[in-house]
Amino acid sequence: MCVGVMGTALASPLYPLYQAHWGLQPSHITGIYVAYMFGALASLLFLGRLSDRFGFLPVLRHGLMLVTAGVLLSALAWNMASFVVSRVLIGIASGMITTSASIGLTQLNRSSNMLRASAMTSFAMALGFGLGPLVGGLMAQWVPRPLVTAYAPSVVLGALAIYALYQVRVAPPAHAATQPPFALRDWLPRITLPQPALRRPFLIACLGAFSTFGIFGLYASLAPSFMKQMVPWHGPAVSGLSIAMILFLSAGFQWLARPVHTKTCAVVGLGLLAACNLLLIATTYTNLPLLFVLSVLTTAAGHGLMNLAGVAIVNKVATPGSRSGLLSTYLVVGYLGTIVPILGVGWLSDHLGLRLAIVIFCVGMSSLTGLLAWLAQRTPVIEQA
């Protein structure tokens, strides 16, 4: 999972270089980003149930092959169209990898503590997403031909991961042999929900993922402008490090919060996300470095706790036959949280200005996460199956 998602986020600090190299407009960069996100959404909607049918290991192997091929095509891209194709391939592979690896970590967990498997899943995901922009930014800053060489570590690690997975032997799911042949309806998009008694915590987790992904997407898009005002260093390494720091801190908070109860993680995480939006509003008006640092720390803590709680809730409400479908639904809502805010803030900033667009976004997100925290507090604890 770590190697696979590393390849998905690697290009983030390279976008200004592509813009200068190919003479792209800002709208082109947004289009490239959205192309990747739509690839990931398509994968989660159409391929999300493959792990239930064939087992997580074959899907994970093929997902790693596809992401490595997509990263290699990114390194060889000769124009915007070829680069968009590579990003779509990486997006499709991202959905396959996150779903299958999450299911695999849960199935291979020998402990009865489901939160432990959830912590490992969300930790590996955050670590991989953070390593991508960090490695890409450092390579682009100091290595010749950055639009080619920056992808080399991900290609090498992908090849090693594929080789390692072919040395692993895991029995296919027991229910796979009794299922009917794969039909067209199995490929059609389908939103999976748990049984009615467990839908409230699951929907809170999904909307929490929407908020978490959306807030991080906003920070990632604003980081370069913030860094220009607050530090004297510029370039791909700085922007890559600024994006990676939130994810690394998030991974650290998740690791520290492993013993904490799932409901506590959800309530505190959602409360921190509400607070970080208010801090971001204050930061946009004051440009105070201390407020910026505090907002980053609050965002990282809320991001980590809510991701940990979200994956744990999915695992608790799922059955062996519905786990991949529920995880796909959870991730689809989360990815929509990354797409919608970027498009919404972009449209609002064109008509109202960037500062007012940020304020409107943060007020809406703070209200949503505050309401979710209140609902989570009033939701009964899910009994461990």
pLDDT 10s digits, 119-177: 777 778 878 888 888 888 888 888 888 889 889 999 999 999 999 999 888 776 655 55
Give the whole-angstrom CA distance, residue 66 versus residue 63: 5
Q: What is the mean pLDDT of the chain?
A: 82
What tens digit of pLDDT does each residue of 270-290 get?
999 999 999 988 888 887 778
Pick the more confident residue, 166 or 238.
166
Least confident residue range of 145-154, 224-233, 246-255: 224-233
Give the whole-angstrom CA distance, residue 66 versus residue 10: 15
Residue 254 has pLDDT above 90, yes or no: no
What pTM did the predictor assign?
0.76
Q: Do residues 56 and 323 lie in contact, with contact meaning Cβ atoms separated by under 8 Å?
A: no
What is the rounded average pLDDT of the residues 97-119? 74
DSSP 193: -
Phi-psi region of 194 (alpha: psi -120 to 50; beta: other; left: phi over 0): beta
Instruction: Give residue 343's Cα distance to chain centre.
Output: 17
DSSP string, 4-62: HHHHHHTTGGGHHHHHHHHT--HHHHHHHHHHHHHHHHHHHHHHTTHHHHH-HHHHHHH
What is the rounded average pLDDT of the residues 295-322? 86
What is the rounded average pLDDT of the residues 230-248? 71
What is the rounded average pLDDT of the residues 356-372? 91
Residues 6+ apart with CB under 8 A from 256: none
User: Residue 319 half-sphere exposure, CB side, CA atoms within 13 Å?
Assistant: 8
Domains in the chain: ranges and CATH: 1-170 (1.20.1250.20), 194-384 (1.20.1250.20)
pLDDT class for 385, splitting at 50, 70, 90? very low
What is the rounded average pLDDT of the residues 222-241? 62
